[in-house]
Amino acid sequence: EVQLAESGGALVQPGGSLRLSCAASGFTFSTYEMNWVRQAPGKGLEWVSYISSSGSVKYYADSVKGRFTISRDNAKNSLYLQMNSLRAEDTAVYYCAREVGALFQHWGQGTLATVSS
Amino acid sequence: DIQMTQSPSSLSASVGDRVTITCRASQSISSYLNWYQQKPGKAPKLLIYAASRLQSGVPSRFSGSGSGTDFTLTISSLQPEDFASYYCQQSYSTPPTFGQGTRLEIK
Digit-coded pLDDT (tens) for B85-97: 999 999 999 999 9
Q: What is the pLDDT of residues B17-57, one digit of tens each?
A: 999 999 999 999 999 999 999 999 999 999 999 999 999 99
- Cα(A43)–Cα(A19) distance, integer angstroms: 23
Question: What integer best gives the mean pLDDT of chain A?
Answer: 97
Q: What is the pLDDT of residues A21-68, one digit of tens each?
A: 999 999 999 999 999 999 999 999 999 999 999 999 999 999 999 999
Tell me the chain B residues in contact with residue A47 when contact means C-beta distances shorter than 8 Å. 95-98
Tell me the chain A residues in contact with residue B95 when contact means C-beta distances shorter than 8 Å. 47, 59, 61-62
| Closest by Cβ to B43, choosing from A102, A103, A110 | A110
3-state secondary structure of B34: strand
Whether A102 shows a pLDDT value over 90: the answer reads no
Residue A92 has what pLDDT?
Answer: 98
Whether B107 shows a pLDDT value over 90: the answer reads no
Q: Does A102 touch chain B (CB under 8 A)?
A: yes
**Is the Cα torsion angle B100, A38, B46, B26 positive or negative in sign?**
positive
- Cα(A116)–Cα(A27) distance, integer angstroms: 37
Q: Does B56 touch chain A (CB under 8 A)?
A: no
Residue A18 has what pLDDT?
Answer: 98
Q: Does A61 touch chain B (CB under 8 A)?
A: yes
Reported residue count of chain A is 117
CB contact under 8 A, A44 and B49: no
Residue A101 has what pLDDT?
Answer: 84
Nearest to A29 by CA among A86, A76, A91: A76
